[in-house]
Amino acid sequence: MTSLYQLRSSTTEGYQILKLDPPGSYFLTADACTCPQGHKATCRHRKMLPLFVNNHHVDDGWFLDWDTRLWRAPIGVEYDSNGHETASLADETTLPLERPAARGEEPASPSPAPTVEPPAPVPVGATKPLKRRKLS
């Protein structure tokens, strides 16, 4: 399970960090956090703050996957290889997978799924037995 977080600037001084699953929200600054571990010297949210700020991902909808330290694009938005927004997507499930047929043209038939052959079974005893090494 991944832990996705988003950072927003707060109306007061500081930031609000949002966690997706399970949903949660905390207010934080570089020195304090309202999470249950906020009384300690540091917490994961205060460790995330410089990552968001240094990568310019405050109030832009990008998610930080805390477990892998990878950035995830906002839901419903496509980005090119340079990180520039190219198009907004209404719903990923409605995107056409193939070119739509032109007027008067027969719709393309879906390509068959590739068949994968399972590996051949290995008969019992077909492999060499392991040699035991004498331990001293």
Q: In angstroms, rounded to a whole number, what is the distance separating the alpha carbons of residues 16 and 58?
A: 10
Q: What is the pLDDT of residue 94?
A: 34
Q: What is the pLDDT of residue 8?
A: 92
> In the chain, what percentage of residues exceed pLDDT 70?
57
User: Which residues are 85's β-sheet partners?
Assistant: 79
Q: What is the pLDDT of residue 13?
A: 81
Residue ranges of the chain with per-residue pLDDT less than 70? 1, 76-131, 136
Q: In angstroms, rounded to a whole number, what is the distance separating the alpha carbons of residues 30 and 50?
A: 9
Q: What is the pLDDT of residue 93?
A: 35
DSSP string, the chain: ---EEEEEE-SSSSEEEEETTTTEEEEE-SS-B-STTTTSS--HHHHHHHHHHHTT-BSS--EEETTTTEEEPPTTEEE-TTS-EEEE-S-GGGS-SSPPPPTTSPPPPPPPPPP-PPPPPPPTT-SPPPPPPPP-
